[in-house]
Amino acid sequence: MSSPPRHHEADVVLRDGSTVHVRPVRADDAPAVHAFFEHLSPRSIALRFFSSFPDLDRAVRWATEVEDQHRYGLVATSSADGRVVAHAGWEREPDRPGRAEIAFAIADAMQHNGLGTILLGQLIEAAAQAGVAVLSAEVLPQNHRMLHVFRDSGFPVTTRTLPGVVLVELPTSLSPAVLEQRQRCDPPSNRAPFGQGTQSA
């Protein structure tokens, strides 16, 4: 039987030395999330929404109106001024409740710092707690950064090329064989404890 995800909060130290606070999204984050989406560059908007002019009001509702067993979301806020600098979330597929689709958006100035990897780790953990076995994402082929985040997650990733997009799928748990291989290949100091504590990325 699945259970609601435990709500982890973490102060995360990024590669450039800056710190963000990662926590579950709340309904009252809607204005801050809207402002965050508005300030994304045109390229980041197109990569996230597959459109140059998305319906941001609808996107904000999706991002902030969560219900742990159906839809889950995280925000990262700047330690300097409290602004939302990233959002990530998943939503169950209605006809296949063991699967969920994920989506990310990270402020342009915060990219290349490992934040996407940390958010993915927390989404995986929350999805596993909720009984979701597989996460999937449709990624534009030119979104190389996001594809690298998935491939560098430590989870076995499968990809399929569909018309106009790459479908990425990964499990929310590792088999004993994969865990053993990961432990042999990665010393403990290199494995980030996703979901709790202070993490470097």
Write the CATH number for 112. 3.40.630.30
Whether 38 is in a domain gets the answer: yes
* pLDDT tens digit sequence for 38-87: 999 999 999 999 999 999 999 999 999 998 689 999 999 999 999 999 99
Q: Where are the alpha helices (DSSP H) in the chain?
A: 30-38, 42-49, 56-64, 115-129, 144-151, 176-185
* pLDDT tens digit sequence for 108-164: 999 999 999 999 999 999 999 999 999 999 999 999 999 999 999 889 999 999 999
Both structure tokens of 105: 């958006």
Q: How many domains does the chain have?
A: 1
Mode of pairing for the β-strands spanning 84-93 and 134-139? unpaired
Whether 194 is in a domain gets the answer: no
Whether 174 is in a domain gets the answer: no
Annotate 112-129 with b (16+ C-beta within 10 A) or e (fewer).
ebbbbbbbbbbbbbbbbb
Whether 141 is in a domain gets the answer: no
Whether 75 is in a domain gets the answer: yes
pLDDT value for 188 = 40
The mean pLDDT of 169-180, rounded to a whole number, is 70
Whether 79 is in a domain gets the answer: yes
Confidence of residue 8 (pLDDT cuts 50, 70, 90): confident
The residue range of the domain holding 20 is 10-135
The number of CA neighbours under 13 Å toward the Cβ of 29 is 26
